[in-house]
Every structure is written in structure tokens, then in C-alpha cells.
């Protein structure tokens, strides 16, 4: 049965010590970092309390229930047949990406990203020794876009692969636009990657947050080619608000990628947090009723944001995300000479994520976190609209 999920009151939220609630003074509404305003799912809270009560805060075990729990969740949620023996843990998705890239490219080789995209992608490629090759998405956030919204530029990807890039860092569902890529697009990516000998590493951290009516397709599931050259990195951290507990899974489907991950130093796996494993097992085994309730809250907010913008800020381009809780706002029509998030913070006291770090196409844009109460979202838009 679906649980009812709502945001915590503002006074409770301001007692939190995480980045979202510590970075700015109390007169600022923080809607920048990808952290939700909801309480922990009861099943996760209970598991963590029990672990504290028994002093279970040591090193993560070499064998846990997490691979099987994730495989069962993937089968129920997405119809994805995952071998638990091909699921490996690490501290977070970013670490998993870097550790995989280090093993599939040589220093100085190209790694393709598709901007606008999660800003750390640029740094992760560099940390792994690669060189960023940008193949920007096609489309825009404006409702009247003749391209019909955002999508992968397959011709641009092929050109990057043909010119020597050795890996593709895919974001699916895509942050910041909240779009799950289609099965046809992903099959095309897999075929291109196979043709040019490219490894695909798919960041699928937002997958559990796919809205009903939308479809998330795991990259490794789309074809034998994808399984042969692909890796997926996922976590319960976004969907169940567990980022600080440090736990993610690296998933493979073919023997080659599996041997690469299995051959990593044991420290890669040991960096996983004990509480992160316990919480992730609880999430994947028993957290779906809460997750479904959360999706109801997020669905209401993504629709509410569209209504508020249509009434108060019609010049802002916005497409409701199909997955996740991040809204990509095209603010270029404001005509401001400074980045919109900077002015909005200074004058409206609403903290958004600046658009330029997402890539060249992010200039004049901002990312808004809508995983909050409807009241907070309404106040934020009201404050911003007062700047016009």
C-alpha cells in the first residue's frame, strides 16, 4: 500500500546540518543541491536505529544482502534481469564512475558527455585521466520547441566516437532535464558504441524516481551489445534521500565488464558505508510503498511548478521532469546581464543551482529542486516573480 509522504516543516528542516540547510542564512529558501525535504522512510529509520542500538557501525562486510536486494528491485520495477554476482558496491556513484573510467581509458583519451549535464561529470572525466568531449543534447526547455523537447544527438555522438573518443558517460535519466532516454535511443547508442569500440558508463541514480506514465530503460538491458561494453552505476541515495550514508552499486551484464569491476582493489568496495548498505537494503527490499508516496508528492509539485510559472513567470521555459525532482529553467528571456541564479539569490533570497556549470548551453538557465512542500515551492516562485 502506498504511503503518504510530505515534506517536513520548515523549523525542522532548518535544524538539519547538511549542506542544503547550512550553506545559506535562514532568510534564504534553499532549492539548489539535490537533497529532499522529506523525512526518512520509516523502514530505513528503523533499520538505522536498530543498528545504532546494537553498535553495528563497523566495516562493511564482504558479503551483504545488497546485490540480491537490488536485483530483486530491478526486476520488479523495470523488468531488468540482474545477476547479483555482477553487482558490486562502492561509496557513491561518482566514485564508481571514476574507478570504471580509470580502467577503460588511457590518460588523455576522450570521454563523451552530453551537456547540459550534471556538473561533476566534467571533473570526473578529468579525475579519471580523460579529456571531456561534449556532444550536446538537442532541444530546449521551451514548450514551443520545434524539436519536441530534449533528446540525444545521435549524429553528434557518432562523430565523437568516430573521432577517437573511447568512452561515453551517459546520464539516464538525464540530470538536469529529468528525461529517461528511450529504448530506441539507447539501442542506437549501443550499436554506435559497438561499432567504434566505445565503453558506455551509465549513471542511473535517478532511475527509481521515474514517474508513472514515463519509462526508465536500463542501458545494460537494451541489447547484447550494451551488455558487452556497458556499465551501470546506481544508488538508493537520491530516491530515499541517503546521500550522506555513502553507498552505490556498480552493475555489469557481460563477462568483460564484470572482470574489470571484480578486479578492482578491495578498497574500492570497502569505502562503502556500513549504514549506507543497511539503509539501501531496506530501501530496495521494503521501501517501495514509501517511494510511490514520494512520487505522488513530486508529481504534484512538478505540475504545480508548471502552473505557477505559467501564471507568474510565463517567459521562463520549463518542461516537467519525467524522472527526479530537478527542474531545468530557461531564464534567458529575462534578458539579465548576470546569471539568473545569482540575481535570484541576492534579491529574492532563493538559492538555485547556477546553469553555466552544466555546460555552454546552461548559460541563462538555473536548476530548481522541487522536492519540498507545495507551500515552499509557491513562495519561491512568488519571490522570483517579484523581480520582474
At 14-31, the pLDDT tens digits run 999 999 999 999 999 999
Q: Give the pLDDT of residue 149.
A: 83
Q: What is the pLDDT of residues 31-61, one digit of tens each?
A: 999 999 999 999 999 999 999 999 999 999 9
List the chain residues with pLDDT less than 50.
none
CA distance 126 to 149: 30
User: pLDDT at position 162, please?
Assistant: 98
Q: Which domains does the chain have, with CATH numbers?
A: 10-40+288-385 (3.90.1150.10), 66-286 (3.40.640.10)
* Residue 230, beta-bridge partner list: 200
Question: Could you tell me where the beta strands, DSSP code E, fall in the chain?
Answer: 29-30, 87-90, 110-113, 131-134, 167-171, 199-203, 230-234, 248-252, 326-330, 350-351, 353-354, 365-369
Q: Check residue 5 and give its pLDDT.
A: 98
Task: Give pLDDT, residue 388.
Answer: 77
Point out which residues pair with 359 in neighbouring strands. none
pTM to 2 decimal places: 0.97
Q: How confident is the model at residue 146, as a pLDDT? A: 56
* Chain-centroid distance, C-alpha 342: 23
230-234 and 248-252: which strand pairing? antiparallel
Amino acid at each position: 500500500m502506498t504511503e503518504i509522504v510530505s515534506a517536513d516543516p520548515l523549523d525542522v528542516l532548518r535544524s538539519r546540518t547538511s549542506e542544503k540547510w547550512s550553506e545559506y542564512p535562514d532568510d534564504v529558501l534553499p532549492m539548489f543541491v539535490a537533497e529532499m525535504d522529506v523525512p526518512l522512510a520509516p523502514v530505513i529509520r528503523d533499520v538505522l536505529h536498530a543498528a545504532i542500538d546494537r553498535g553495528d557501525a563497523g566495516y562493511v562486510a564482504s558479503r551483504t544482502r545488497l546485490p540480491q536486494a537490488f536485483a530483486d528491485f530491478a526486476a520488479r520495477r523495470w523488468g531488468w534481469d540482474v545477476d547479483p554476482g555482477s553487482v558490486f558496491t562502492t561509496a557513491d556513484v561518482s566514485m564508481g564512475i571514476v574507478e570504471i573510467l580509470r580502467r577503460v581509458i588511457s590518460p588523455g583519451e576522450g570521454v563523451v558527455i552530453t551537456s547540459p549535464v550534471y556538473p561533476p561529470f566534467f571533473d570526473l572525466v578529468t579525475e579519471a585521466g580523460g579529456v571531456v568531449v561534449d556532444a550536446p543534447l538537442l532541444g530546449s526547455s521551451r514548450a514551443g520547441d520545434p524539436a519536441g523537447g530534449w533528446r540525444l544527438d545521435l549524429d553528434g555522438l557518432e562523430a565523437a566516437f568516430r573521432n577517437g573518443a573511447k568512452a561515453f558517460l551517459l546520464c539516464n535519466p538525464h540530470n538536469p532535464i529529468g528525461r529517461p532516454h528511450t529504448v530506441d535511443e539507447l539501442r542506437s547508442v549501443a550499436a554506435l558504441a559497438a561499432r567504434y569500440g566505445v565503453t558506455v558508463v551509465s549513471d542511473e541514480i535517478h532511475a527509481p524516481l521515474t514517474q508513472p506514465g514515463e519509462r526508465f530503460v536500463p542501458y545494460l538491458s537494451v541489447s547484447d551489445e550494451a551488455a558487452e561494453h556497458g556499465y551501470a552505476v546506481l544508488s538508493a541515495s537520491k530516491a530515499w534521500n541517503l546521500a550522506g550514508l555513502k553507498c552505490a552499486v556498480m552493475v555489469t551484464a557481460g563477462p568483460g565488464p564484470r572482470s574489470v569491476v571484480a578486479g578492482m582493489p578491495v578498497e574500492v568496495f570497502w569505502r562503502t558505508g556500513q549504514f549506507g548498505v543497511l539503509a539501501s537494503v531496506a530501501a530496495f527490499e521494503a521501501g517501495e510503498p514509501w517511494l510511490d508516496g514520494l512520487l505522488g508528492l513530486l508529481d504534484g509539485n512538478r505540475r504545480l511548478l508548471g502552473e505557477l510559472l505559467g501564471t507568474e513567470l510565463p517567459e521562463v521555459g520549463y518542461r516537467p521532469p519525467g524522472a527526479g525532482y530537478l527542474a531545468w529553467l530557461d531564464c534567458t528571456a529575462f534578458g539579465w546581464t548576470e546569471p539568473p541564479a545569482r540575481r535570484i539569490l541576492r534579491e529574492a533570497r532563493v538559492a538555485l543551482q547556477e546553469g553555466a556549470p552544466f555546460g555552454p548551453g546552461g548559460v541563462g538557465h538555473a536548476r530548481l529542486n522541487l522536492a519540498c512542500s507545495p507551500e515552499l515551492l509557491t513562495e519561491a516562485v512568488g519571490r522570483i516573480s517579484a523581480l520582474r
